[in-house]
Structure 1
């Protein structure tokens, strides 16, 4: 239940609709701003704050929000595809944690070969690969099945996530061997660690807005 609540948070819900509509990054930011203005109004923003807003921008934001609400009413009927797509933000944290933990366990093996963590690495890689495949599939359901996106951030997130899932499968195949190539496995895990950090950042950019870390 907690995963479903997280996946259906307000910001993620708006991002989900924007991704399916193939909006640009600028259009996504504008839509989020419209939602924020409606939220501020509902929570009792002061009259001075309301009057200080630009009239043209407010009308445009209201139009975008009205369009999104109309779309939501039209899509009120339950859709399994849409529901599964909305689970993507909650599920992605599992392969991220599993692959990073596998990388950490492998680093411990480098420092202490006698630590006996090979079964741990194997388990983490297997479960991470399975979770990565499922997360990537749900991501495609969330964003829609297309080969190019108007949003550069969504495009990077889509294809990096797909590559991570494929790299996870490759790591699982290498680990499955009777005598796994530790050097190749370590190379894959290192690449996964870097890719996962970038992937997580791009995902947050889409759900929380541009420059969400204030850098």
Structure 2
């Protein structure tokens, strides 16, 4: 269990490196926590800093999750090594979840991070490539029709749970539980967005579908 705990912690610390703040450092000290919604995530980066800045943020946030899941589980830590008594899938999915957890609650930044969508998306593509297409399609459709990125992220996480529930159980129960835990974390991280959507005050991207729906109201 020492191996599992250390690798979980290492993945969490990697996940806690926020792409927006890292990219902002190289952009002359831009801190997107002080502009827009104040959230250090990709959506606020796009709204306040533009497409190129947001693209680099997405690359970092997606990449760090994939890096953690690909590198940390098979790593033989000095003085610890590989514990043969631990299920390797438990290590893999624990490390993957820890990277998302670190993004949402980063120790480096007062435990106030992003919403976890980009990091989770990267891990879904890496751990369950077959789920990537339905998840992406659902996300794009909801953003296109409503303009709500938060709603799209929540819905995509639930689509991943449903898809994996039908395709990997019972053989890959660890992957399914990872998807469930991730969906729960993303929903929790979007609590404020959910409240604002219910109140009618949530910001949305202008999309053709959203404009069409508003004209029909």
TM-score band by shorter chain is: under 0.3
Question: Counting helix residues as a fraction of each chain, which structure ranks higher?
Answer: 1
| Higher-Rg member (1/2) | 1
Higher relative CO (Cα under 8 Å, sequence separation at least 6) belongs to 1
